Copies of this chain bind each other. A is one copy, B any other.
Amino acid sequence: MKDLLVNINKAFESKARLGIMSVLMVNEQIDFNSLKELLDLTDGNLASHLKALEELEYIAVWKQFIGRKPNTTYRATDQGKKAFESHLQALENLIKGNR
């Protein structure tokens, strides 16, 4: 059982983070508001999860101006993609163990 759980990554435990990473696996980059809309999260909740994933270097933030408007986009790092893949694999193994 310990073996089945060892690759489950605490960083991806919550529904919000599973959602964020899932979106970033299939979208090269995405801005804050689109992500918020897609995941139906509040500003504060989304921001805190993004911050945590950024600190782990699983996502990277890109800040720029479009004209005079600030625009912040997010993308998954290679490290983040790899870690998320391992997490999904661990969940898959756990599911198989339960079927």
Contacts and interface: CB of A to CB of B under 8 A. Distances in A.
A45 to B, nearest CB: 13
Interface in A1-57: 1-2, 4-5, 8, 10, 13-15, 18-19, 22-23, 25-26, 38-40
Interface residues of A, number: 26
A95 interface: yes
Contact of A15 (B10, B22, B84, B92): B10
Contacts of A19: 1, 4-5
B5 A18 contact: yes
A96 to B, nearest CB: 10
Interface in A44-80: none
A15 B90 CA distance: 11
Interface of A: 1-2, 4-5, 8, 10, 13-15, 18-19, 22-23, 25-26, 38-40, 84, 88, 91-92, 94-95, 97-98
